[in-house]
Copies of this chain bind each other. A is one copy, B any other.
């Protein structure tokens, strides 16, 4: 069984974006009051998945995708708790419905209602609703709601209420920013990779997992720049008087495999212990075209994993066992026991 832990619902019918546009319009007009969410029939929902994510999964032999709302659409930079809560609920409810329509193919991961300066009580409440009432298996946590990196380290205690809930519910968080609000830092080509790298460095500097030994973070996009600069981070850890990376962070931090060429994937598997790698392709995500050199999709990460000189046990570890271990609620959904 091949489990992909990083998929997004980037193919919603236009009425979802129309609802978002209306939301922002109403917010600009004065005190905000919630409205009725977009009306999307089961048939439209089914179509939007069948011809996109599901079709790609069948092509590539991916059995299960952990699907969450479009990351760049979370837009946590909007300063309104009401808007953030409503937008997260609307998106998460769509994800729940998709997973009910395709219960064997998808497992749900939620967006949290965050804002740049607000507290995290709404995020905790939505996380509980999604996990306890709707059976979600994980969440996306945005380390920079501002979209311009006006934020605090993820080791800061302002994040602790979310961490307490994550530990209690036994679900991991994928550390995933939303759109960049800074045109000098491109959303897909700089901001995402910076977030992945910066959060790893925050964790290196701090000692978060001594306080939350059961907390689990998945860093997407192959860990940003981290695996490529593993020696740099080991050296920085030493220079800063921190423990070696494996001892300090690798009980709690995992990387996905969203690296879109063979040499990058080879490096990732060579540098990071296989126990810390979760198969993923971020589809339909940042990069949707076809590599002219191979005729396959850039984001067809299964091809790069298949192209590695590793044994079958390692492949099973990365493509399914680790996902079942890091996302323990996933086993019930896909009818398998965690190993």
Contacts and interface: CB of A to CB of B under 8 A. Distances in A.
13 contacts: A144-B184, A188-B236, A189-B197, A189-B201, A231-B260, A232-B259, A232-B261, A234-B261, A235-B287, A235-B298, A236-B286, A236-B287, A263-B267
A81 interface: no
A238 B198 CA distance: 27
Contacts of A194: 185, 190, 193-194, 197-198
Interface string A133-171: 000000000011000111111000000000000000000
Contacts of A201: 185-186, 189-190
Interface of A: 143-144, 148-153, 182-186, 188-190, 193-194, 197-198, 200-202, 204-205, 221-222, 224-225, 227-236, 238-239, 259-261, 263-264, 266-267, 270-271, 286-289, 291, 298-299
A144 B201 CA distance: 20
A151 B184 contact: yes
Nearest to A196: B225
Contacts of A198: 184-186, 189-190, 194
Contacts of A225: 193, 197, 224-225, 228
Given A225-B197, A259-B228, A235 B299 contact: yes
A231 B186 contact: no
Contacts of A221: 229, 232
A270 B259 contact: no
Contacts of A267: 228, 263-264, 266-267
Contacts of A238: 289, 298
Given A149-B185, A184-B198, A193-B225, A232 B205 contact: no
A289 B229 contact: no
B202 A197 contact: no
Nearest to A262: B231
A270 B263 contact: yes
A149 B182 contact: yes
Given A189-B233, A263-B267, 15 more contacts: A152-B183, A152-B184, A188-B236, A189-B197, A189-B200, A193-B225, A193-B229, A194-B197, A194-B198, A224-B225, A228-B259, A229-B260, A231-B259, A234-B261, A267-B267
Contacts of A264: 228-231, 267, 271
B236 A189 contact: yes
Nearest to A148: B149
Contact of A149 (B149, B200, B288): B149
A274 to B, nearest CB: 14
Nearest to A304: B231
Contact of A234 (B230, B235, B291): B291
B239 A287 contact: yes
Which 6 residue pairs are nearest across A and B when measured between Cβ atoms?
A: A231-B261, A231-B260, A235-B287, A228-B228, A235-B298, A189-B201
Contacts of A234: 260-261, 291, 298
A259 B287 CA distance: 26
Contacts of A184: 143-144, 149, 151-153, 198, 202
